[in-house]
Amino acid sequence: MTFDLEYNSERTNLLIPEYGRHLQKLVDHCIALEDDEERNKMARAIVDVMGNLQPHLRDVPDFKHKLWDQLFIMSDFKLKAESPYPQPSKEELQEKPEPLPYPKTASKYRFYGNNIQTMIDVVLSWEEGEKREGLTYVVANHMKKCYLNWNKDTVDDEVIFKHLYELSDGKIDLRENGEKLSESSSLLRKKSSRNQSNQKSSHQKSNHQKNKHKNYRKKY
């Protein structure tokens, strides 16, 4: 008695391994069908089976569209079937995305983050007036808060004003205004009070669950 055994080394590669070998064989059989009506009927049946194998995809927009695209991919784009959606092409699938434009120069004050330059540019785009002056001090206070997150010690306002002057290419100068920014203790206190409130709420929630468990045990 002889057995016709298949080894993985002799099998073709699975284009989408998540669906398994048996579904790949169904797709190959569907490609070999000569009758158009039978081929379309079997293609729709395969799509239904794929949907049952991937139930988490039902919440994805264009659920059926995704399954039909995967069916054509598994057939290596050889399947000739009537799809309710445009059939994808191999060239479209193999097309490489455009490279992302990475910043060529990095700020020497990295502790302020990358968004601080965008905020400064917004300030410079506003017209001179009270609103621009108020936004300028908002940005300066944000810089001071970022500095304190990086360095827990106190920081002089003159240092923040100097950095703001450099980052704005000399267009924003608060060094001689005489205004003061928010105190370092108040900026740090806001962060610490927020952490304490979160810890307090989690502690109350834990106590509530413990009391609920005790009441349950007393009842039964």
Residue 128: DSSP 8-state: S
For the chain (length 220 residues), average pLDDT per consecutive 10? 72 86 92 92 93 81 88 91 88 85 70 85 90 91 88 83 90 85 75 52 55 49
d(CA 216, CA 210): 10
Residue 152 has a CB neighbour count (10 Å cut-off) of 9
Domain ranges for the chain: 10-93, 106-184
pLDDT at position 217 is: 47
With a CB cutoff of 8 Å and minimum separation 6, the contacts of 162 are 175
pLDDT at position 149 is: 84
pLDDT at position 31 is: 93
d(CA 164, CA 160): 6
DSSP assignments along 197-212, one per residue: HHHHHHHHHHHHHHHH
Residue 126: DSSP 8-state: S
